[in-house]
Amino acid sequence: MAERRPPRWFVAGDLNGFFGLVVDNLSILGFIAAALVGIFGFPAEVVFTRMFPGTALGVLVGNLIYTVMARRLALRSGRDDVTAMPLGLDAPTSIGMALLVLGPAFSRFKADGIDVEAAALATWQLGMAALMVMGTLKLVLSFAGDLITRVVPRAALLGSIGGAALVLLGFLPLVETLRSPVVGLATFGLLLYVLVARGRLPIRIPGVLFAFLVGTTLYYGLGLAGLGAPGFSVPEAMPLALTFPWPNLGFIEGLPATVPYLSLLLPFGLLMVVGGINVSESARAAGDDYRTRDVLLAEAVSTLVAGLCGGVAQTTPYIGQPAYKHMGARMGYTLLTGLFIGIGGMLGIVSGLVQWLPLAVLAPIIAYVGLDITVQAFQSTRREHALAVALAFLPSVAYLMVIKLGNPAWIAPDRFAALYSASDGAGLPELATIVVLGNGFIITAMLWASALVAMIEQRLRLATAWLSLAAVLTLFGVIHSVHPQGGVYVPWALEGLPRTIAWQFAAGYAVLAVAMALLSLQRRPFQP
């Protein structure tokens, strides 16, 4: 009997996965820097030398853990095609941290008379404390992961994440891609050619790298020639400097400042637990059976390490594991990514790349991953459950509209508040309805799809349970929060229009739950 060879640490496809995963992380870091420095006037030195190293360390720790998990699965199963779970910075909550927590907190500190440097340091400590809060919540909830995967149907798990993928990872990056059409379309088209069509290239280099080289060359070549899209500029070079993210207790000083933001931070952490469950199911559908609890524990530990060492953005397993498998990546790409982001974050390399890589080149790979996940949501569920998958997409569309309509550059905050409360006499205000539908969109999508799957399978008592749970969660703002920022609350503290909206939505679920309960009392037709 031939001796079984151990799985290879690296294969050719790992280079494609490496470039894709690195780009995902760099694009999120780039947005954090652009938002804090460009919008709120945050000192760049604090962002690049204090926030980024610890944040990058969390990516390193998480990817090392997932690499070890993949190797153990490969050894245990005897397979050489196991793909590691990709880990990186979570896009929605990282954006939320920058725009809804760190930026406003910095402005508030300055308004209280604190000088810019002290305000920046206080904000950094708040960011650290926020990660410790979210990481602790994820650590506690991680032990319920396996139970949830046994209770929630696959259509709900994949449908909820598929909607987020199509809307947030597909459409939004596509808009950024097309803001520089020549560069964006060329890069996106080449990525589709090498990753979807499996097209050949004239030179032997990874397809993702080839597309990036072409896109970056176009961006700077056209820009320097005066033919680029408006807003072209050449960034200043970042000096290399070793900044090791030593553990520190600065988060303790930042803990009191987190209290006003707990209504955002706790849902952020809960969202990652739900997302971790979803991506575990996604990987399982692609053939890699990782234990859900281990996946969740790894992301909780990496988030806590990042927060302890100065990070401000939480890590999460990415929803594109099947996409990386299709690229040919196995376990080497997460090891390479962790080392590159972690060490590069300490040396200042990551900060320099964040400034030099154009968004029109970064965005297309995220759009591709979003499309691939959306397709898998349909392909990996039973045919009769396809409508439940599609239904789960709709709350994500509402969340997309909230992101765009809530942009102060589009609608001034006072105008947004007026529209939120303005009714035409034909029901609840339209803008308020969109906002409420979008808040808690992933959990809403899971509940809707789970209830519909139960109806399809004629398990009406189970449908009643899902709808009753939705009614309770609505009352406390876990889903359909009446706060525009999506915060949680106790229902008896609401007044006026918010109270009306919350009770109306909760009553809608309750009435439907009662209807399902009554229908379940019918006698089943005789089947010989």
Q: Is residue 490 part of a domain?
A: yes
Packing angle of the helix pair 154-164, 359-379 (nearest 10 deg): 160
- Tell me: pLDDT of 193 over 90: yes
Place of tokens 């990987």: 283
Q: Is residue 239 part of a domain?
A: no
Based on the domain organization, do 495 and 402 belong to the same domain? Answer: yes
Instruction: Say what the pTM is.
Output: 0.73
Based on the domain organization, do 273 and 418 belong to the same domain? Answer: no
pLDDT recorded at residue 528 = 47
The token duo for 424 is 């035409």
The residue-averaged pLDDT of 391-406 equals: 86
pLDDT band at 525; cut points 50, 70, 90: low
The span from the CA of 220 to the CA of 232, in Å, is 8
379, 399, 432 - which closes a domain = 379
Q: What is the mean pLDDT of the chain?
A: 85
Based on the domain organization, do 274 and 195 belong to the same domain? Answer: yes
pLDDT band at 239; cut points 50, 70, 90: low
Number of domains into which the chain is organized? 2
- Tell me: pLDDT of 2 over 50: no
Give, in order, the Cα–Cα distances in Å from 228 to each of 31, 34, 252, 355, 362.
21, 20, 47, 17, 17
DSSP code of 200? -
Give, in order, the Cα–Cα distances in Å from 322 to each of 319, 326, 368, 429.
8, 6, 12, 40
Based on the domain organization, do 364 and 387 belong to the same domain? Answer: no
pLDDT recorded at residue 168 = 74
Q: Is residue 142 part of a domain?
A: yes
Residue 432 identity:
A
**Which residue in 13, 18, 365, 24 sits closest to 215, CA to CA?**
365
Q: Is residue 144 part of a domain?
A: yes
- Tell me: pLDDT of 10 over 90: no
pLDDT recorded at residue 237 = 63
The span from the CA of 427 to the CA of 433, in Å, is 10
Based on the domain organization, do 368 and 494 belong to the same domain? Answer: no
pLDDT recorded at residue 462 = 95
pLDDT recorded at residue 124 = 95
pLDDT recorded at residue 145 = 62
Q: Is residue 290 part of a domain?
A: yes
Based on the domain organization, do 82 and 114 belong to the same domain? Answer: yes
- Tell me: pLDDT of 488 over 80: no
The residue-averaged pLDDT of 356-361 equals: 79
DSSP string, 121-147: HHHHHHHHHHHHHHHHHHHHHGGGHHH
Q: Is residue 525 part of a domain?
A: no
DSSP string, 291-307: -HHHHHHHHHHHHHHHH
pLDDT band at 513; cut points 50, 70, 90: very high
322, 353, 379 - which closes a domain = 379
Per-residue pLDDT tens digits for 31-51: 788 778 877 888 888 998 899
The span from the CA of 109 to the CA of 67, in Å, is 41
pLDDT recorded at residue 33 = 83
The residue-averaged pLDDT of 183-196 equals: 91
How many CA atoms within 13 Å lie on the side-chain side of 421?
11
pLDDT band at 233; cut points 50, 70, 90: confident
**Distance, CA of 266 to chain centre:** 15
Based on the domain organization, do 172 and 109 belong to the same domain? Answer: yes
Torsion angle in degrees (nearest 10) through CA of 264, 507, 159, 94? -10
Based on the domain organization, do 325 and 394 belong to the same domain? Answer: no
Least confident stretch, 29-43, 215-229, 265-279, 388-402: 265-279
Buried b / exposed e over 8-24, threshold 16 CB at 10 Å, is eeebebbbbbbbbbbbb
Contact 432, 420 (CB under 8 A): yes
Buried b / exposed e over 174-183, threshold 16 CB at 10 Å, is bebbbebeeb
Per-residue pLDDT tens digits for 322-355: 878 887 888 889 999 999 999 998 888 888 877 7
Residue 513 identity:
A
**Which residue in 196, 193, 58, 215 sits closest to 127, CA to CA?**
58
Per-residue pLDDT tens digits for 58-116: 999 999 999 999 999 988 888 888 899 999 988 767 877 887 789 888 988 887 788 88
User: At residue 458, what are phi and psi to the nearest 5 degrees?
Assistant: 60, 30
The residue-averaged pLDDT of 268-296 equals: 82
pLDDT band at 455; cut points 50, 70, 90: very high
Indicate the SS3 state at residue 259: helix
Q: Is residue 134 part of a domain?
A: yes
Q: Where are the alpha helices (DSSP H) in 78-206?
A: 91-96, 103-111, 116-141, 145-151, 154-164, 172-178, 181-195
Based on the domain organization, do 163 and 55 belong to the same domain? Answer: yes
Backbone angle region of 293, left / alpha / beta, with phi > 0 → left and psi within -120 to 50 → alpha: alpha
pLDDT band at 405; cut points 50, 70, 90: confident
Q: Is residue 478 part of a domain?
A: yes
Buried b / exposed e over 227-258, threshold 16 CB at 10 Å, is ebbeebeeeeebeeeebebeeeebbeebeebb
Domain range for 507: 383-519
The span from the CA of 128 to the CA of 249, in Å, is 9
Answer with the residue of higher pLDDT: 296 or 377.
296
Indicate the SS3 state at residue 227: coil
- Tell me: pLDDT of 484 over 60: yes
The residue-averaged pLDDT of 169-194 equals: 88
Based on the domain organization, do 423 and 499 belong to the same domain? Answer: yes
- Contacts with 497 (C-beta within 8 Å, 6 or more apart), sequence order: 421, 429, 432, 482
The residue-averaged pLDDT of 127-133 equals: 94
Based on the domain organization, do 94 and 191 belong to the same domain? Answer: yes
pLDDT recorded at residue 374 = 85
Q: Ranked by mean pLDDT, which of 179-183, 313-317, 464-468 comes out on top? A: 464-468
- Tell me: pLDDT of 515 over 70: yes
The span from the CA of 39 to the CA of 88, in Å, is 24
Based on the domain organization, do 372 and 415 belong to the same domain? Answer: no
- Tell me: pLDDT of 242 over 60: yes
330, 356, 379 - which closes a domain = 379
Place of tokens 């008379």: 113
The residue-averaged pLDDT of 277-283 equals: 81
pLDDT recorded at residue 264 = 66
